[in-house]
């Protein structure tokens, strides 16, 4: 089991590292819609403070569900923009849940000491939650609408605080 997780992590690293130049480029960034939306699988994870979070408890809000790891360069690249997006969207019915995959609490604490990350960071130490979603590389972000359906999948990093992306997220938050 541990070897499968390590293999997944290694493959994710190589896949996402190759995407860094593509998504770090200037210009419009898109939030691709899924061809077929699906009910987002529910899960319960603890955050870095030990508090439990259940996805279903966020029904009625747009959830930006981001799968990431500290060793992933594109993940590290997008974290500051996620923090800025969180600050700009906190009154717009949008929440950010960043699910760290396969790492322990000490690793996360060391990483977050270097960044201002005001959003919720959840721990998926054993990699059970990431298996519920079709994730092919890190970072992968799912946008979940107010009814609990995954409507968008974004593979690779984004500038989450870009005006175009913020506008799209705000529009989603207004839909009921």
Q: CB within 8 A of 95, min separation 6: which ones?
A: 58, 61, 62, 63, 64, 119, 120
| pTM assigned to the model | 0.85
Q: pLDDT tens for the chain, 176 residues: list them.
A: 544 544 444 444 444 444 444 444 455 678 999 999 999 999 999 999 999 999 999 999 999 999 999 999 999 999 999 999 999 999 999 999 999 999 999 999 999 988 889 999 999 999 999 999 999 999 999 999 999 999 999 999 999 999 999 999 999 998 76
What is the DSSP-derived secondary structure letter of residue 132? G
User: Which class does domain 2-174 fall in?
Assistant: alpha beta
Q: From CA 71, how far away is CA 48, in angstroms rounded?
A: 17
What are the residue ranges of helices labelled H in 36-158? 73-89, 105-112
Nearest to 172 by CA among 28, 37, 23, 56: 37
The domains of the chain are located at: 2-174
**CA geometry: angle 160, 166, 168, nearest 5 deg:** 115
């Amino acid at each position: 089991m541990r070897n499968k997780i390590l293999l997944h992590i290694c493959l994710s690293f190589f896949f996402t590292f190759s995407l860094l130049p593509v998504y770090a480029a200037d210009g419009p960034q898109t939030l691709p819609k899924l061809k077929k939306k699906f009910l987002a699988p529910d899960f319960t994870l603890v955050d870095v403070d030990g508090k439990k979070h259940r996805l279903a408890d966020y029904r009625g809000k747009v959830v930006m569900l981001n799968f990431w790891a500290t060793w992933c360069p594109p993940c590290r690249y997008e974290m500051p923009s996620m923090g800025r997006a969180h600050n700009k969207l906190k009154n717009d019915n949008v929440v950010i849940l960043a699910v760290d995959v396969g790492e322990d609490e000490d690793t996360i604490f060391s990483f977050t000491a270097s960044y201002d990350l005001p959003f919720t960071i959840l721990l998926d130490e054993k990699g059970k939650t990431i298996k519920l979603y079709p994730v092919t590389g890190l970072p992968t972000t799912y946008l979940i609408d107010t009814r609990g359906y995954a409507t968008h999948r974004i593979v690779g990093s984004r500038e989450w605080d870009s005006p175009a992306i913020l506008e799209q997220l705000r529009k989603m938050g207004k839909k009921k």
